[in-house]
């Protein structure tokens, strides 16, 4: 038995955390100056293997603290407390175009973190590590309830926070890939917001009728939240990414039914034909398909489809009419949508209309299109299946440089939570109001 192996102590705290919580990885009981590799391994739901690793040198006290010590190489370098998560990448030899998304949010992501002797860059599977631990990463906090919603023809999942409530509500919309993606809504509920993940491109009703949904669908979803006994009808927000932004802005300004307390729009645009159906927004993009470009690797660049930002008012949501706070999150290296240019145009429109005080723009240099909750890997390009009668899979370029993109995810998520908390939980200062009644 290798005596040295039994000495190394590896711990990760917390061993069970939420996906957006940081952890501390500590290696102890090695010799000072000892060279080691910290390695993370994850087998995703699709069965693909992902790995990340970093090279460290133990301190004079024979320890390595990933949160404080610099990595000298690997899938990330420098001091990166969560590098082992956001720098995960498919193991060599994997299929190309993979994107990591957890579809079952009721089970945790299980990541194995190990420590190897020496500075390794490959062949981890063939070596025995000095120690290994398992870390659970959860989208659902304890007590969060997951409720499938099918009433009113909806395809949705509602996540209620732990506790009696009542809670503010939120409609959560993803983008042009469709499907019912629950993880962001589950995480929002873990932060006290009753969030409904809504499938609006591939819902059951569209599969049955072949027709895309319109205002009534989103208004029905809004009503489910508004009428729910544990949700505060006057405190409902909407959050959309990519095409979800197009819907969110349209509903925020033009819906007679939906009254939003605030809205968050990530990596999207206000550019759309405002008369006509939601389906026609899609068609208008397809009409510009000839503006599609390709990079050297033949990855699809769609950002030009909406450029230049039109001056014609009928071609953009009139954000000057917004009556609620709006948070725009954009990556300046977005290769999929012209989100930065759109944000600048929205700002200008709101300045002219006099409601600019409602606007907050978070703009991140070198961040790409898919700005998601933090500490999961981002892909500069991945396989994308188009929603149409003849779906095809293409490699889409999202953009973004990994380190800058992970910074954008971490920073924007934190600020999004603050924005939502201030607008959904705050408002009339309860302290002042309550004390005047006491």
Partner 1 sequence: EGAPVSLVRARWLQSVVISVTPSRALVDETFRVAVQNLPPGSPVTLHSLHRSEDEDLWEAFGHYVSDSRGTVSVADDFSFGGTYTGKEAMGLLWSMSPVPGSREGLRLRKKNVCIPQLVNISVYGGHVEEGFGERLPLASTLTERWHLGPGVRRIEISERGVRGTLFIPPGPGPFPGMLDMWGGGGGLLEYRSALLASHGYASLALEYFTAGELKSADKEFSYFETAFNIVREHPQVIPDRVGLFGLSLGSLMASYLAAESSVIEPRCCVCVSGGHLYPRGANLQQLFRAYSSHSHKLRVDEHNREIWRSINLPIPEDLSQKLDVGKINCPMLLVNGIDDQNWPTVECAEDMAHMMRAAGKEHLLTRIEYPDAGHLIEPPYSPHSRATKFIKDVILLWGGQTKPHADAQEDSWRNILAFLQKHLYCTQNPKAKM
Q: Which stretch binds partner 1 (CB under 8 A): 165-173, 236-244, 246-254, 333-341?
A: 165-173
Q: Which of 49, 57, 117, 162 binds partner 1 (CB under 8 A)?
A: 162
Q: Which of 74, 90, 168, 400 binds partner 1 (CB under 8 A)?
A: 168
State how far the Cα of 265 lies from the Cα of 175, in Å rounded to an integer.
11
Give me the least distance between CB of 307 and partner 1, in Å please.
42
Give me the least distance between CB of 23 and partner 1, in Å please.
10
Give me the least distance between CB of 16 and partner 1, in Å please.
4
Residue 14 binds to partner 1 (criterion: CB under 8 A): yes
* Whole-number Cα distances in Å, 169 to 151, 190, 202, 226, 275: 17, 13, 23, 8, 28
Q: Which of 55, 270, 299, 369 is catalytic?
A: 369
* Whole-number Cα distances in Å, 109 to 104, 189, 241, 272: 10, 18, 23, 38
Residue 60 binds to partner 1 (criterion: CB under 8 A): yes
DSSP-based helix, strand, coil % in the chain, nearest 5: 30, 30, 45
Give me the least distance between CB of 434 and partner 1, in Å please.
5
Q: Which stretch binds partner 1 (CB under 8 A): 134-142, 245-253, 261-269, 395-403?
A: 134-142
State how far the Cα of 31 lies from the Cα of 294, in Å rounded to an integer.
51
Is the Cβ–Cβ distance between 51 and 170 less than 8 Å?
no
Give whichever of 106 and 351 is closer to partner 1, judged by the CB atom: 106
Rounded to the nearest 5 degrees, what angle is found at the Cα of 78, between the Cα atoms of 73 and 79? 130
> Closest Cα to residue 231, out of 188, 171, 169, 187?
169
Residue 233 binds to partner 1 (criterion: CB under 8 A): no
Q: Which of 10, 281, 330, 359 binds partner 1 (CB under 8 A)?
A: 10
Give whichever of 132 and 307 is closer to partner 1, judged by the CB atom: 132
What does DSSP say about strands 194-198 and 156-160: parallel, antiparallel, or unpaired?
Answer: antiparallel
Q: Which of 17, 81, 97, 153 binds partner 1 (CB under 8 A)?
A: 17
Annotated active-site residue 369? The verdict is: yes
Annotated active-site residue 334? The verdict is: yes
DSSP state, 68? T
* Pure H helices in 233-307: 243-254, 278-287
Q: Which of 5, 72, 293, 352 binds partner 1 (CB under 8 A)?
A: 5
Q: Which of 299, 334, 342, 382 is catalytic?
A: 334
> Closest Cα to residue 215, out of 263, 188, 250?
250
> Closest Cα to residue 191, out of 13, 374, 20, 431?
20
Tell me the per-residue interface mask from 68 to 107 with partner 1, x by CB under 8 A, - otherwise. Answer: ----------------------------------------
How many C-beta neighbours within 10 Å does residue 235 have? 23
Annotated active-site residue 411? The verdict is: no
Residues near partner 1 (CB under 8 A) = 1, 3, 5-7, 9-10, 14-18, 21, 29-32, 60-62, 110, 112, 114, 128-129, 131-136, 138, 141-143, 162-166, 168, 192, 232, 235, 425-426, 428, 430-431, 433-438
């Amino acid at each position: 038995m290798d005596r040295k192996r039994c000495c190394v102590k590896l711990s990760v705290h917390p061993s069970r955390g939420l996906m957006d919580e940081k952890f501390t990885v500590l290696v102890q009981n090695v010799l000072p100056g000892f060279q080691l590799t910290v390695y993370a391994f994850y087998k995703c739901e699709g069965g693909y293997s992902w790995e990340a690793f970093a090279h460290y040198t133990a301190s004079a006290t024979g320890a390595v603290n990933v949160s404080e010590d610099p990595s000298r190489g690997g899938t990330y370098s420098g001091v990166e407390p969560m590098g082992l998560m956001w720098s995960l990448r498919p193991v060599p030899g994997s299929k190309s175009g993979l994107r990591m998304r957890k579809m079952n949010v009721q089970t945790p992501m299980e990541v194995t973190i190990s420590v190897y002797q020496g500075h390794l860059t490959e062949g981890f599977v063939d070596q025995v590590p000095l120690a290994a631990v398992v870390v659970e990463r959860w989208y659902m906090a304890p007590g969060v309830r997951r409720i499938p919603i099918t009433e009113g023809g909806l395809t949705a999942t509602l996540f209620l926070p732990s506790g009696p409530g009542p809670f503010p509500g939120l409609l959560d919309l993803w983008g042009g890939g469709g499907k019912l993606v629950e993880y962001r809504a589950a995480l929002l509920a873990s932060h006290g917001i009753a969030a409904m993940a809504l499938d609006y491109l591939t819902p059951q009703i569209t599969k049955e009728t072949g027709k895309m949904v319109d205002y009534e669908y989103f208004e029905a979803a809004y009503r489910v939240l508004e009428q729910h006994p544990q949700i505060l009808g006057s405190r409902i927000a909407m959050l959309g990414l990519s095409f979800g932004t197009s819907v969110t802005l349209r509903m925020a300004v033009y819906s007679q039914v939906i009254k939003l307390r605030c809205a968050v729009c990530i990596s999207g645009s206000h550019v759309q034909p405002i008369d006509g159906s939601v389906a026609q927004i899609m068609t208008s993009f397809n009409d510009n398909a000839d503006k599609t470009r390709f990079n050297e690797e033949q990855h699809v660049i769609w950002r030009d489809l909406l450029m230049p930002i039109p001056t014609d008012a009928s071609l953009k949501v009139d954000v000057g009419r917004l009556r609620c706070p709006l948070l725009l999150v954009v990556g300046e290296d977005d290769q999929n949508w012209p989100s930065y240019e759109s944000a600048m145009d929205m700002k200008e429109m709101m300045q002219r209309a006099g409601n600019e005080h409602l606007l907050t723009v978070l703009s991140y240099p070198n961040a790409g299109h898919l700005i998601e909750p933090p500490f999961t890997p981002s892909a500069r390009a991945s396989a994308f299946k188009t929603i149409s009668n003849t779906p095809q899979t293409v490699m889409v370029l999202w953009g973004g440089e990994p380190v800058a993109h992970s910074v954008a995810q971490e920073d924007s998520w934190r600020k999004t939570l603050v924005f939502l908390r201030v607008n959904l939980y705050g408002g009339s200062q309860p302290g002042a109001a309550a004390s005047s009644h006491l």
